[in-house]
Structure 1
Amino acid sequence: MSFGFRNSSLEIDAAKLKEKLDSGEDVFILDVRTPEEYDAWRLSYDKHDKTPLIPIDRLFTSQKMIAEQIPKDKEIITLCAHGNRSMMAAQMLSRMGYKVKSVRGGMVAWNQVYDVAEVQQADAARVWQLRRVSKGCMSYVIAVGNEATVIDSTSDLESSVLKLVQDNGLEITNVVDTHMHADHVSGFSAIVKATGAQGYLGAKEGYELLEDVKVSLIDDGHKIPLGDGVSLEAIHAPGHTDGSMCFALKAGEKTFLFTGDTLFVNGVGRPDLRDKADEFAGKLYDTYQKILKLPDDTVILPAHFDPNSITIKHGEPIADTVGAKRNVELLSKPKDEFVKFVVSSVPPRPSNYRVIIQINKQLVPYDEINIAELEAGPNSCGVRM
């Protein structure tokens, strides 16, 4: 069987695919990569928590398997890493009478898709969580009146932070990063330069500041005014990095803790990306003792989730509470046992992490970088509990 060049009529944009899934369309997503690629990084979203896998070489060799495993009464969406193998699969299935589309750009394109969930809607403040569906990155926008504060922005500004701000008639006045990210390029400097907002970074992280980026270096106890008497309080939280910060927001009767990569819903920060795993794991343990002293109903809002163990539900926040964390066995271990477990359990390091750390350290504008390929791959910033 021969195949022609790429057929655009058989392609679908990643964003359009998400729209189909959000509207409840019953599509059949078929991953045609290798099992190794699939196990490392797969599409996991809403009802599609474990998409079917048939590697492209197997697909070509058995029409009987196709008939048995791929339904004729649903639209088929084929998926691979970059959209090449999935286009070959789509062309073959189309010739067999299937209604089929290939995801243009594959998993690399799906890596740029976002979902938004409103965490808090109250007079004191509104809080939105922006989730990068495939990568597992999470950013936040806090609105007090019409003034917005952005926390841990990724670099896909037009499809995430800036779109949300525009849709809600907000003006960005503050930009915050909890730490120097290792798995994605930060949108921090781009937002500060584009909006004139005030930027805030941890004083102990070792950033190389630029003259044209308005930044204040802050430490434990610093309060960032958000308007109407509402503020973000910085909490020094070393362990994932030496200068990591958490930020506490009191909005009405609730307290929200933006934990960055220090503490996740089902994991802890990895301590090894600065090559001081044992030392940083000990600091991480001490940080958790500080966090666990906060009120039980404090809402934990991390900067990442693990797409292989947590499937995003459209519009539903990913969060936990300090009270729930008190019952986690790992956080109740003696310090030496905690350090031993965490250091021995770190996952493979993020792709290109040393390059990404340097980019974020130097506050390099993201438009000077090939972001999509640099950031391709799964999130691996934590140790699962």
Structure 2
Amino acid sequence: MSATIPDISRKMSSLLLIDLGANSFNGPVPQLPAGVTTVDFSRNKFSGNISFTCDNYDYLGYLNLSDNLFSVELPYCLNLRSLVHLNLANNNFSGEIPSSMLAKTMSGEIPEWIGNSLALISVVILRSNRFSGSIPSSICQLTNIQILDVSQNKISGTIPKCINNLTELTKEESPKQKVTSWYYRSYIKGGVTVTRNTSYDESAFLMWKGREFEYSNTLGLVKSIDLSNNDLVGEIPVEITSLIGLLGLNLSRNNLTGSIPTRIGQLRDINFLDLSRNKLSGKIPSSFSQLSHLGVLNLSYNNLSGRIPLDTQSKTFNSSSYIGNPGLCGSPLSEACPGDELSRDPKLNADSEEKQQEDEFISAEFYISMGIGFTFGFWGVCSALILKRTWRYALFRFLENIFKNYSIFNTK
């Protein structure tokens, strides 16, 4: 459907849930009923401002404006005190996160209050915008978070070392498949306070292995961190290897340095790992052999060096997983490691094998034949001397003359 949505705040004042996702609605976002709890306008063509967020929506817990055509700054009057889920991905928002949001003080970066005010949130997606600044350490207080996606922004600084405090990501199994949000609304009816609750099964579009997929019924099983396409610097914190429940980790297209953590093998359940296009150096850790569930690996275009591990797991990936690292060598790359040249050249291998066969012939059959020949020759001569008396006398006279001449020579 394609149309401009009119003001629905009065004619539909009792609406609690509005879901117009995946259509072609355009124009500005309409004024909403004051008691609405859930709003999904994602995957449309809405544009203009989102000034409606400045009004008092005391019960709005879910707001999804992702995949639209918004290209404005977030309003400074943003006032959503009950918000649990906010998705602004795939737009062109700019500027600072407004200081009025949740009535907290902001710094222009991802706000410090995020760990305190959104402690129960499990999905944070801010992908494909122009957010800047560093990742605050308070994000480590989001102990229930399963999906963190701030990719394709201008975020700088380092990855917080406290990232191992994301408790839900340290669990290998997820207790749920669906992610359900509950919103509560209280109102007075006939002089009595009535509380209603609304549940909403959440869904999310996630980048997985380079493609975008929608997760709904299995969203609760997904555990991933995507910090790709930013300006992050510093080393990959070793603490990240404590997140053993991770299924996907994407740190590609940043300016990360240092080596890959040697304990990367602790991420036993990981299926998707992309560390490409950074400035990582050193060897590929041997613990990669423990990543038995790894289906996609990309370490390309770094400064890695040394031999690619010879374990079975590393051999399952083709050269595209390792290219762009001038110091790397060994299969599946065409660059041979020092000492491997002989084994990689078929002609040299053939010559070496032939020479080895010749050596084996000389050292075995040749010497055995010489020994047998000498034995038969020696005993043949001895037998002749024993059996032929005239030959024996002739030999003795010959030896006698030699000794006589030798004595004369010594006397002179």
Question: TM > 0.5 between the two?
Answer: no
TM-score interval, normalised by the smaller of the two chains: under 0.3
- Computing the radius of gyration from Cα coordinates, the structure with the larger value is 2
Alignment TM-score, normalising by the size of structure 1: 0.27
Instruction: Tell me which of the two structures has the higher relative contact order, counting C-alpha pairs closer than 8 angstroms and 6 or more residues apart.
Output: 1
